[in-house]
Amino acid sequence: MTRRLLLTGLLSSTITVAGCATSQFDRHFEEGRYEEVGRLFQSDSSLQRDERSLYRAGLAHALPSSPIYQPNAADEIFERLLTLHPRSSYRPRVETLRQLLNEVIRLESTAAAREAELERLARQTDEAKERIAWLESLLERQEAQTNSYRELAERLESRLRETRKELEALQDELQRLKEIDLKERRRTGQGTSPDRDAG
């Protein structure tokens, strides 16, 4: 952020450098209509070779408050200026601006990479939260199912105990009836064997 503020300050002081508006391009630049500056620069090949036009077009793209702010485009225009005009009086300022622009480009690239990483981590966090919510819901369903099975098992065990008691009662009743029947037979003589009666 400090580099960007420094760049803004340097560009602001550079833009106020005296220069008479000799063309529509210059008038647009001096009035701060940078979109028009960019449009004219792209459409007029003579501006793309002119030293001052190259410098001003580069500034229009380098200024952070400009609607056509593009550090990479500004750096390319400044590089073209130095290539076409190696002895340019703008060279010291352009070299300083290019250093700042390259630092801004690097910082913005780093910031974009970090922002992308943050977005990726945010997506992963959201996915993890959704997964946790799904697992918690599944766990709740499984716990409810386990409780249902437990209640069913308890009911079945209770029924089994009742059935065993009923079975034991029936066995006791059966045994009692057998004993009554045996006594009745003995009393009536139906329980004696034929051989014993013959003797």
- Kindly indicate the confidence band of residue 100, based on its pLDDT and cuts at 50, 70 and 90: very high
CA dist 59 and 61 (Å) reads: 5
Q: Are 52 and 22 in contact (CB under 8 A)?
A: no
H or E stretch including 124?
A: helix 91-188
More confident: 179 or 196: 179
pLDDT of residue 193: 53
| Rounded (5°) CA angle 20-22-24 | 120
User: How much is the pLDDT for 43?
Assistant: 94
**Under 8 Å between Cβ of 105 and 99:** no
Q: What is the mean pLDDT of residues 122-151?
A: 93
Give the mean model confidence (pLDDT) for residues 24-45: 94
Higher local confidence (pLDDT), 22 or 36: 36
Answer for the pair 71, 104: CB distance below 8 angstroms, yes or no.
Answer: yes
Instruction: Report the pLDDT value the prediction gives residue 113, as an integer from 0 to 100.
Output: 94
Catalogue the long-range contacts made by 62-66 (C-beta closer than 8 Å, 24 or more residues apart): 62/7, 62/11, 62/97, 62/101, 63/8, 63/11, 63/12, 63/15, 63/34, 64/4, 64/7, 64/8, 65/8, 66/34
| pLDDT at 9 > cutoff 80 | no
pLDDT at residue 108 tops 80: yes
pLDDT of residue 54: 97
The enclosing H or E element of 132 equals helix 91-188
DSSP summary character for residue 88: -
Residue 13 has pLDDT above 60, yes or no: no
Region of 189 (left: φ > 0; alpha: ψ -120 to 50; beta: rest) is: left
Highest mean pLDDT among 21-25, 34-38, 162-166: 34-38
88-95's contacts with Cβ under 8 Å and 24+ in sequence apart are: 88/51, 88/55, 90/51, 90/55, 93/10, 93/14, 94/55, 94/58
Q: What is the mean pLDDT of residues 49-55?
A: 96
Cβ atoms within 10 Å of 7's Cβ, excluding its own:
22
Q: Do the beta carbons of residue 121 and residue 35 sit within 8 Å? A: no
Kindly indicate the confidence band of residue 126, based on its pLDDT and cuts at 50, 70 and 90: very high
Contacts of 145 (CB under 8 A, 6+ apart): none
